[in-house]
Structure 1
Amino acid sequence: MKPRPDYQLQRNAFGRLELRTADGQIHEGVAPVRAFPITAPDDGLALVDPYGHELVWIDRLDDLPDDQRRLLADELAGREFMPVIQRIVGVGSFATPSTWEVETDRGRTSFVLKGEEDIRRLASPALLIADTHGIQFLIRDRHALDQHSRRILDRFL
């Protein structure tokens, strides 16, 4: 059995996360924030208060007891929305702004790419694409995409 942390984390009556520290202080409305959401999502997580002040640092999610890990995973799933592009079906034009039709891990969708600068290179071979609404789409490995998708993507890189 994993050791219990020196704090308690639970949902209050309104469904918001509540943190009780070892000294008995209660912090309402805490939020989990990943240090490295793409490259190391399970390593380094802070619990912050509504003003962004760090209250607790967690080295690894796997080190937490199952109930605490599930609670944080549920909260993170509700806060983070980053569809992973699995295939680029097509683009409206190779000039920007351009409408992209893609298949993601959450289904098929389309978005508008404002400019090539909205495609950011991460730790190779990952890419992060921002649409005009600020939604971030992730390509974990651009080399793993099918040939058609790679050919389209290469025109914008």
Structure 2
Amino acid sequence: MTTTLPFRDLQLDAHGRLVLTDLQGAEHVGVSPVRAHPISAPDEGVSLVGVHGHELAWIPRLSGLPDAPRQLLEAELSAREFHPTLLRLISVNTFATPSTWRVETDRGEVDFVLKSEEDIRRLDEGRLLITSTHGVQLQVPDRWALDKQSKRLLERFL
């Protein structure tokens, strides 16, 4: 199956900026990739947006791209998207909100404040997205796979 690219070329310039050469041959420096559905369908729908906020190219499926541009976009997206994975819930200072949580993530231990129970978003199949008061979103890929203490503490907020 041959994939038709929505652009001629995609590369990084000497300053680390993403450069898109569109189908007409025009170069656009400082392009930003933006996922349409970063949580529910991260592979589907990626827009390449220019510095003025206009969409320059639409990629229906990231996995449908050839290796080089796909890997470049995945690297750019991972640098922009900061969603640490919650591995263990160590403690909470109170079971009423706002409450301070101490958690272990894939990037180390951290304390954050949970403003309200509504900041714990239930996704499909036991997945959760927890948003701190500072807007950092921690992901829980499978709440049922957490250790016993973490599940017990988390249940008080769900």
TM beyond 0.5: yes
1:14 is matched with: 15
Q: Is the 8 A contact 1:36 1:43 kept in 2?
A: yes
Residues in 1 aligned to 2:98 and 2:112: alpha-carbon distance in whole angstroms: 10
Residues in 2 aligned to 1:56 and 1:123: alpha-carbon distance in whole angstroms: 30
1:47 is matched with: 48
Provide runs of 4+ in structure 1 moved above 3 Å: 1-4
**Matched length:** 157
Residues in 2 aligned to 1:127 and 1:151: alpha-carbon distance in whole angstroms: 15
Partner amino acid for 1:37?
Answer: P
Segments of structure 1 that go 5 or more residues without pairing to the other structure are: none
How do 1:129-144 and structure 2 match up within 5 A?
A: 129-144=130-145
2:117 is matched with: 116
- Return the offset for 1:154: 1.0
Partner amino acid for 2:10?
Answer: L
Residues in 2 aligned to 1:134 and 1:85: alpha-carbon distance in whole angstroms: 15
Q: Is the 8 A contact 1:4 1:65 kept in 2?
A: no
Partner amino acid for 1:43?
Answer: E
Q: Deviations over 1:96-148 (max 9, x none)?
A: 22111111122221211112121122234221111111101111221221221
Aligned-partner SS, 1:120: strand
Aligned-partner SS, 2:156: helix
Residues in 1 aligned to 2:54 and 2:123: alpha-carbon distance in whole angstroms: 27
Residues in 2 aligned to 1:17 and 1:2: alpha-carbon distance in whole angstroms: 24
RMSD value, Cα = 1.9
Identity over aligned pairs, percent: 56
Residues in 2 aligned to 1:52 and 1:123: alpha-carbon distance in whole angstroms: 31
2:29 is matched with: 28
Q: Does 1:86 align with 2:82?
A: no
Residues in 1 aligned to 2:29 and 2:63: alpha-carbon distance in whole angstroms: 24
Q: Is the 8 A contact 1:18 1:28 kept in 2?
A: yes
- TM-score under structure 2 normalisation? 0.89
Q: Is the 8 A contact 1:83 1:137 kept in 2?
A: yes
- Return the offset for 1:3: 5.5
- Return the offset for 1:61: 2.1
Aligned-partner SS, 1:81: coil
Q: Deviations over 1:44-72 (max 9, x none)?
A: 21111123322211122222222211211
Residues in 2 aligned to 1:52 and 1:91: alpha-carbon distance in whole angstroms: 41
Moved more, 127-136 or 6-15: 6-15
Aligned-partner SS, 2:129: strand
- TM-score under structure 1 normalisation? 0.90
